[in-house]
Structure 1
């Protein structure tokens, strides 16, 4: 793709990128606020789960990078393929927006809980366990979401309302972009499975101390 093509693409899709990004940020804020709504019992359950997770990080025998990679990549692929399918279905367009909002909620809740329970140590843990991969995953999902929304809008304008315009080229572009983002998520899954546990092990001692 030439520089002019990229500039044209960004100019045409920038409003969608801004809208989806703002929706995601709203999800992050909502997820962080949800932490305050947790009951004492729910907080205790989450604390026990976090304690067990941190303890497992300290035991090399409990780490299974290959199984973790397969699980993570499978999860990412299900998410991205669902967006792809919703994009070609037209009626799934609103659900794409819901998925982006929910992804923001998940990230916001995770970081909000860690920081709320562990203060700056929770922030440190979030920086090594949540932030690195999500710096890639989030833009990737936003790109696929915008592409899916754009393709749906194209079909509505050119095939349903005006009944003209070829679908083959836009469909291929949409599918190739989705596959490209899947390849990016493949690399991200490898990082999550083989590198993230090591990063988390570096901060595990202080987290374990806090939990004890």
Structure 2
């Protein structure tokens, strides 16, 4: 598939750009922690206290969580796919990558700021493992979407008007479906394995 070859091998600048954008989002998200008001910090702390107790007691509806987590990840992949089909959606793909970085940066930054080394340990066990797979999947999906969108611009608005989009579109759909299947597997890990990892450290956070 020529389109996939371009996506994985010839789009290094795009991968670097998306990675840098994500890292900027992580930094921005971490800096946002310092902007929280005292009330917001107390609300988050109260929510986390209840969450830690639930995890420690094993009160997690895994089937319900799996469905919710899977749908969340698939919606993210689906939105990137849809934005890639339209030229005007190109900036939206970049916004999603930046937003994902912000969410991870804020989560890790808050845990570290609130709980110091214990928060870092929790982040390493609860946030890092599945995101080590989610981030590459989102990057591949984003670069594929950007590449397809740029391909449409070249074929429709420049000198390649007669070039067919059938093969690139088929490759784009195939890649997106593959990424969606990977997300289902990652969701399984996040649902059934991550809570077990978190149970190892939640006793450190439970107030006696």
Name the structure 1 match of 2:93.
96
Aligned-residue offset at 1:87: 0.2
With the length of structure 2 as denominator, give the TM-score of the two structures. 0.95
Q: Compute the RMSD of aligned alpha carbons.
A: 1.5
Which ranges of structure 2 fall in alignment gaps of 5 or more residues? none
Residues 36-55 of structure 1: pairs in structure 2 closer than 5 A = 36-55=34-53
Name the structure 1 match of 2:66.
69
Alignment check: 8 A CA contact 2:54 2:60 kept: yes
Does 2:111 correspond to 1:114?
yes
Aligned-residue offset at 1:164: 2.3
Which ranges of structure 1 fall in alignment gaps of 5 or more residues? none
Q: SS where residue 196 of structure 2 aligns?
A: helix
Name the structure 1 match of 2:122.
125
Name the structure 2 match of 1:182.
180
- 1:120-156 deviation digits (Å, cap 9, x = unpaired): 1000000111000000001100100000000000000
Aligned-residue offset at 1:58: 1.6
With the length of structure 1 as denominator, give the TM-score of the two structures. 0.93
- 1:23-45 deviation digits (Å, cap 9, x = unpaired): 00000000000001111111111
Name the structure 1 match of 2:17.
19
C-alpha distance in structure 1 between counterparts of 2:42 and 2:196, whole Å: 26
Q: SS where residue 63 of structure 1 aligns?
A: coil
Deviates more, 1:200-209 or 1:18-27: 200-209
Does 2:198 correspond to 1:206?
no
C-alpha distance in structure 2 between counterparts of 1:80 and 1:9, whole Å: 16
- Picking from 80, 84, 88, the partner of 1:87 is 84
Aligned-residue offset at 1:11: 4.2
C-alpha distance in structure 2 between counterparts of 1:33 and 1:45, whole Å: 19
Name the structure 2 match of 1:169.
167
Aligned-residue offset at 1:9: 4.7
Alignment check: 8 A CA contact 2:7 2:147 kept: no
CA separation of 1:9 and 1:146: change in aligned 2, threshold 3 A: closer
